[in-house]
Structure 1
Amino acid sequence: MRPQRTLALAAAAGLLLTACGSSPPAEPAPAVPHGYVEGAEETAEPQSRLVIADARTGAVRVLDLLTGTVTRLDDVAGVRDISTDGRFAYLAAGGSTQVIDSGAWMVDHGDHVHYYRAAIRPAGAVDGHVVAAHADSAVAALAVEGGKTVLLDRAAQEDGKATRRTVLDGVAVPYAQHLVVASADGVTVRNRDGRRVANAGEPCREPSGTAPTRRGVVVGCADGALLLSEDDGRFTGAKIPYPDPGPSTERAREFTSRPGSATLTASAGERGVWVLDVAERTWRLVGTGPVVAVNAVVEGGPLLTLTADGVLHAYDAATGQRTASRPLMAGGVPDGEPPVILVDTSRAYVNDPGGRRVYEVDYNDRLRIARTFDLDVTPSHVVETGR
C-alpha cells in the first residue's frame, strides 16, 4: 500500500508543478463593435457626396457635401450615363462601365441606421453599358443596355474588385435576400444565384422602370404598377392600376424618388407628372405641363419639377397647386444635357451644365438656394451617394 501511495503523491505533485509552470490563459479577443466595418469610419450623420462626370472631357469629380472639398479622379472618356447603388457610382462609356467607390454609404437596419465614410477610389470595370444599379449586402445588380442584369459579388466589390457572379435576363432589384426580376416574361422572384423561387402572382405587361421602397419593389407596367412585397418569407404581388381613363403613350417608364421613399414620380409627357403613393397604392396625375426633371421629397412633402426655361417649381402633390418657383438657369436648360433633381432628407441638388455649377436647394423654405457649388468641369451627369 505504501509504494502505491508514494506514487500517487508524486503524480499529484507533478500535476501541480505542471499547472504552476504553465502560461496564463490567453485574454479573450475583444468583441467586434456593432456596425463595425473594416477600413471605414462610422459617423453620426450622413456622409453625402456627389459623383460628377463631364460628358465632353471625361473629367470626373467627387464633391463632399459636408466639407465642400472636391476630389479629382481619372477621366472616363465618352461617359454617357451615370448610376449609383448608394455607395458605388457606375460611369458608362460605350460598351463598358467604370466603377468608382465614393467612400460614402449607409446601412439601414430598419430601427436604426449606420453611416460610414472611407477613401474614394476606383473599383474596377464591368462589361456592358450600365443604366441602373441596386444593391444589398450580398450582391450589386447592374442593369445593362440590352435587357440584362450583371450581378457582382458585393464583398469583392468592397475590396475594389468587380467580380461577376452571374448574368440574368431582365432587370433585377435585390430585395429581402432575393432578387425581384422584371423581364418580358413578367415579374419573378429569384435567389441570388438566379434560380426562380416564386412568381409575382399578377401580370405585368411591358415592364419598364423599377424602384425599391420600404414597402417592397415597384415595377412599372403598361396598365399601372406592380408592388412586390415580402412577409415572413412569402412574396406577394399587388397591382396598382392607373386611374381612368389611364395613359395612352404617357405611362410611367422611369421612376425617381428620395432613396427609400414610398412616393415615386415619373414624367407623364406633355400632361405633367405621375405621382405614385405606394403606401396608399394610388396614382395621381399632376398637371404641371412638360418637365425636364422631376422628383418628390416624401409622403406629404413637395413635388419638385424643373422646366425647360431653367425654373425650379414646387407643388403640393395632394392638390396639384404650385407653391413656389425659383429661376436657376438664366439661359434655360441646354439641349442634350438634361439636369436631374436629387433629393435627400433636407435638401435637393440640381446640376446646371451650362453654368458649370450645382445648386443646393432648401425645399422646405420656398426653394431657397442654400449653397452654390462652382465647378471646374461641366456637371453633365450627377448622382448622390451616402444615403
Structure 2
Amino acid sequence: MKRLAAAVLLGVAVAGCGATVDDASPVGTGDDHGFVAGASEVQDQQRSLLGISGAGAVTLVDLATEDVTTLGAIGPVDGIADDGRFVLAARTGGPTAVIDSGLWTTDHGDHVHYYRSTPRITGELDLTGTPTIHSTENRTAVAAGGDAVLLDRDRLGQGEITVLATAAADPDGMVAPLDADRWVVTADDELHVLRADGTIETSSPCGDPHGGIVTRVGVVAGCAEGALLVPVTEGTAVIESIPYPTGTARSVRATDFAGRSGRPTVAAVAPDAGIWLLDTRERSWQLVPTKETPLLVSAIDDSAGHVVGVMKDGTVAVWDSTGTELGRTSVTAGPVDATLRLTVDADRAYIRSTTGVLEIDYRDAARIARTLDVAGAVHVAEVGL
C-alpha cells in the first residue's frame, strides 16, 4: 500500500531566488483591495506565451505586442505543466524547474484583477517525472512521480519556494489545493481532503485515479466510475460523485480534462467514441460523438459550446456541443507526441507547430490568425490567465 502522509514544513525554502519588483505603477497600494506585494495591478489581461526550446532556452512572448523576453536556460526538458502563471519544467535527468512568468489573473467571482511582476526562473523542486500544478490564490499544489507538495503561493510569487506539506499521491491522479488550509490528494484508490498537518478531513473511493482539473465549482478527480467533485464551500468538505451514464464502457472513460480557465464545463477524450463534456455546475456528463476521435481536446464553454481538439494527423479541429465539426486547420501541429499541448482562452487557441506557435480563431472555422515565433519552442504554455 502506498503511504499517505503530510508533514508541515513551514518556512523551508527550496532553491529559491530573491524577489524583485516591477517598476510600473500599481492600481492599488498599501492594504488596498487587490494589492499584491511585488506586483503591479494593471487594467488589461497580460497574456503571453512561455516557450522552452529543445536546448532549454526559456522565452516569453507578449501576445499583444509580440515583444520577446529571454529568461535564461534550464537545460533539456521532457514535459511541462502550468497554472496560468507558474510553469513547471521536468528537466531531463534532473529536478523540476519552477518558472514564474510574472503574469496572472485573480478571479474574485464578480470581478477580476490583472497583475504583472518581473518574470524569472525561480528555482527547483526535488521532484522527477511528468509534473502537474494547480493553484488557489494563496496555495499551489505540485505533484510528480508519486510525490506531492503544497506550496505557499504568496511566497512563491516573491521568489521563495516554501513547502507547507508533503504527501504520497497516485502518479496519474489529482492533487490540488482546496483553500488556504486544505488540499485534495488521490492515493491508494481514494480521494482524500487533507489538512496541512496530515489530518484526513474526509475521503471517498476513487478507483484507478487518472487526471483531474480545477473548475469554478471545485476540484475534480477522474475515477474509473466517473468523477469526484469537491466543491469550494465553507465548513467541512463534501465529496460528490458524478458517475458516468448507465452502460458506459470502461474503455471510453476520461483520463485527462481540459477547458478554459474559470469555466465550469471541461472536456476529455472519449476513446474511439468522441468527446466527453463534464458540467461541474450541473454535475452531469455528455458524450459528444465525433467522426474522428481527437488526441487532445479542450472545452471553451462559451454560448456556442465550442470544443477545440488536435487530430491524429496534427490538424486542429473545432466542434460545437453536438459534435458537428465547424472547421479544421490546413497546417499541422507537429510533431504529435507527448510534448504537444493545446491551450485555450476566451478568444483563441494556441498550439506549437514546425513553423512557430499557431494562434487559432476557433470562432472562425479554425482559421489561423497568426503564427508566432517563440524561439524554436518545443514546450509552450499560455500565461497571464
TM-score calculated relative to the size of structure 2: 0.84
On the 8 A contact 2:38/2:158 being kept in 1, the answer is no
Shift of 1:115: 0.4
Determine the structure 1 residue equivalent to 2:68.
70
Shift of 1:320: 1.6
Shift of 1:125: 0.7
2:326 matches 1:323: yes
**Of 278, 282, 285, which aligns to 1:283?**
285
Determine the structure 2 residue equivalent to 1:8.
none
Shift of 1:152: 2.0
Residue identity over aligned pairs, in percent, reads 38
- Take 2:120 and 2:317, find their aligned partners in 1: how far apart are those partners? 36
On the 8 A contact 1:180/1:189 being kept in 2, the answer is yes
Matches within 5 A, 1:1-387: 32-54=31-53, 56-93=54-91, 94-129=93-128, 131-145=131-145, 147-170=146-169, 171-177=174-180, 178-200=182-204, 203-288=205-290, 289-300=292-303, 301-317=305-321, 319-329=322-332, 333-336=334-337, 339-352=340-353, 354-355=354-355, 357-377=356-376, 379-387=377-385
Aligned length: 348
Q: Which amino acid aligns with 2:33?
A: H
Instruction: Flag as ranges the 4+ runs of structure 1 deviating above 3 A.
Output: 335-338
In structure 2, relative to structure 1, the CA distance for the partners of 1:106 and 1:238 (3 Å cut) is same
- Take 1:132 and 1:372, find their aligned partners in 2: how far apart are those partners? 28
- Take 2:284 and 2:33, find their aligned partners in 1: how far apart are those partners? 39
Q: Which amino acid aligns with 1:64?
A: D
Determine the structure 2 residue equivalent to 1:13.
none
- Take 2:73 and 2:187, find their aligned partners in 1: how far apart are those partners? 34
Shift of 1:47: 0.8
In structure 2, relative to structure 1, the CA distance for the partners of 1:184 and 1:337 (3 Å cut) is closer
RMSD over aligned Cα, in angstroms?
2.0
- Take 1:144 and 1:337, find their aligned partners in 2: how far apart are those partners? 16
In structure 2, relative to structure 1, the CA distance for the partners of 1:337 and 1:215 (3 Å cut) is closer
Of structures 1 and 2, the one scoring higher in RCO (CA 8 A, sep 6+) is: 2
Shift of 1:185: 4.5
Runs of 5+ unmatched residues, structure 1: 1-29
In structure 2, relative to structure 1, the CA distance for the partners of 1:179 and 1:327 (3 Å cut) is same
Shift of 1:338: 5.2
In structure 2, relative to structure 1, the CA distance for the partners of 1:194 and 1:113 (3 Å cut) is farther
Higher helix share: 1
In structure 2, relative to structure 1, the CA distance for the partners of 1:44 and 1:236 (3 Å cut) is same
TM-score calculated relative to the size of structure 1: 0.84
Cα deviation, 1:278-312, whole Å, max 9, x if unaligned, reads: 22222222233232321110154211112122322
- Take 1:223 and 1:96, find their aligned partners in 2: how far apart are those partners? 34
